[in-house]
Structure 1
Amino acid sequence: MIRLVGILTGLVFAFVALLAFVTGAYTFFTEPTEETAEHAFHMEAHLPTGGYTFDGLAPQWDVAQLQRGYKVYKEVCSACHSMNHVAFRDLEQLGYSEAQVKAEAAAWQVPGIDPVTGEANLRPGLPTDYFPAPYANNTAAAAANNNAIPPDLSLMTKARHHGTAYVYSLLTGYRDPNSYTNEEGETLAQAFPDSMPGTGLHFNPWFANLNLAMAPPLHTAGQVTYDDGTEATVQQMSADVAAFLTWTAEPSLVDRVRLGWMVMGFLIFLTILAYLAKKSVWSQLKTRRDD
């Protein structure tokens, strides 16, 4: 009796699951999809003209670009965004000397403990410290940014699809919703008036829901002065900081690809060696059989 009840119960669940699948499939194929503002205006991320040196089959870091990107982060992005997974000593990988890293770390104020009183304080950073967060906690971050918490940027390019292109497109993608049009030539206000940016929001067709709480962080040419004399256009600064954030997310990217090529070469060599060994062994067996 118990076995029969179990079988009947399983059949009921199987029938319900099959019915739900058939109903969902029928709805999917028969009901038209309602067009949304995100679908009509959202744009695919793109890279700057010329791309990056770390793309492709033989990647390499452009150290000068990474240093420029760090400068953009330090002078612009760090006012709101943390980088909790990157230590000051990691900057040595960008070509900075040990003395430069110490000086750079000391220029930042990091949370510490007074050894005399035991109270929390701020002290100059050490190379072993990680980049400090600009806010004490998420509550303070939200209060200072229109109730939006700026995300940590350490792994941002790994957390987003086509992360490097996403960061570059987002930073250069702020538009006027009254002038930016879709394929039908309609502005956002004409096509989807309810999707217009609200108070404190900014229209950006490269952002998932089009409306972004972050104001354009890079908005003026020369906002950052590069040490190597490179012209700091908005596009250049965006490309540089996107490259820098690619490095923070995956500093071993270039070494990993190079190691991959070495492994592939070894496997190809091993395959050829195994094939020749097989030919040699079977040729001897064939000779013996013929004899």
Structure 2
Amino acid sequence: MMQLHLHLLSDSTGETLENIAKAALAQYDDVETMRHFWPMVRSETHLERILQEISQNPGLVLFTLVDRDIRRTLESRCRAMGLPAVAPLDAVNHALSNLLGQEAKARPGRQHTLDAAYFQRVDAIQFTIAHDDGVGEEEWEEADIVLVGVSRSSKTPTSIYLANRGYKTANVPIVVESPPTDTLFSLKNPLIVGLTTSADRLVQIRRNRLLSLNQHPETDYVDHDAVAREVSFARRMFGDREWPVIDVTRRSIEETAAAIITLVNERNLAKRDK
């Protein structure tokens, strides 16, 4: 397996660079990537420390830096070390500049300006954390989305991802011995989405979870027949209530969240058309 040192330098949070790097690396197999993440690079002194680390762990350098002096220093030093230094947003900015007839604003992290959307995300994250795993049912009506599913069906990580996209998300576990309260079935505002997965996959995930906690992995929690009954019970509940269902067996968190956002948009569009 090939090893790659990947250095990500940003004058802001670096979120954009991380997403670009993740998308690009997904196209290659058998690559072990050691990521070196350097956010908030806004001074020559800071850059100098980073360059020392890069020289000790040479590899690909990706950067989003608007300060011309810092950028020039980075590019010059990388050339001297024989390392590629790539600014992945340059081509996009150049095309936009030509089309719009104006220069880009050289402001670090301008996409993260504290606007209404930023505060919406903060509120969504706070709400979602406070309403994880069935907590705070008296406020579920305030949610944009409520995810329901059996234990380890990716409810929490999907909720957090949706919250980062600005959606207030609660999640509720489905337990055969202790079904949800009537509050869940009387909700009007949130879109309720059922998450399901195959029993085989669920047993594997739960068994790994127990082993990571140093707990005995031979209980009803991982018994295949018991898990299959759980999944069937949840599916019947989703069907009886006509809630949309997403099978997460072969989906990443991002794919599941994207499907849910599509459902939200379709629902909002249908409401506007009425």
Q: Same fold (TM over 0.5)?
A: no
Relative to the length of structure 2, the TM-score reads: 0.21
Please identify the structure whose Cα radius of gyration is greater.
1
Relative to the length of structure 1, the TM-score reads: 0.20
Write 1 or 2 for the structure with the bigger share of strand.
2
Greater length-normalized contact order (CA 8 Å, ≥ 6 residues apart): 1
